[in-house]
Amino acid sequence: MILYQLRCGKDHEFEAWFKDGQTCDRQLSRKSVECPVCGNRKVAKALMAPRIGASEKNLPAKPQPAPQDMAVMAGTMREHLQAIRAKVEENCDYVGDKFADEARKIHYGETEARGIYGEATDAQHQELVEEGVEVARIPWLPRSDA
């Protein structure tokens, strides 16, 4: 199961689960997904990486997970975030609090295009988004003790 962030033609954002990415694309192109706010069927994926949920066979029959499953999901999410962190550290340059400046320079072609990561304040993040600079916020977990 994959959770997608979707957006209707009137800019309402909502989340929906799909069996997989293909199912999502098919349902969107058939206009069989309806905005829960206004009923608009002009729905597209919002710009966001899909979150991978628990594998289908582990899902309980009811949509509401039992409390013990929540702990499993939290554990999976933690591993997932740590994997993201490892990948980012491996492939991207750390620029610390210069993140907003560097992201902007890359966006405007003033410096070599490369993956970077660092810290930005909420206000800086908002400015980058408004300028159309592609940025993603990642919940940054401390390294695993293991």
Contact between 10 and Zn ion by CB under 5 A: the answer reads: yes
65: CB partners within 8 A, 6+ apart: 59, 73
Whichever of 38 and 71 has its CB closer to Zn ion, that residue is 38
Contact between 44 and Zn ion by CB under 5 A: the answer reads: no
Quick one: 4 exposed, middle or buried, by C-beta within 10 A (0-12, 13-18, 19+)? buried
Contact between 31 and Zn ion by CB under 5 A: the answer reads: no
Whichever of 38 and 136 has its CB closer to Zn ion, that residue is 38
Q: Which stretch binds Zn ion (CB under 5 A): 32-40, 68-76, 107-115, 133-141?
A: 32-40
Beta-strand ranges (E) seen in the chain are 2-8, 13-18, 43-45, 51-52, 93-96, 116-118
Residues that bind Zn ion (CB under 5 A): 8, 10, 12, 35, 37-38, 40
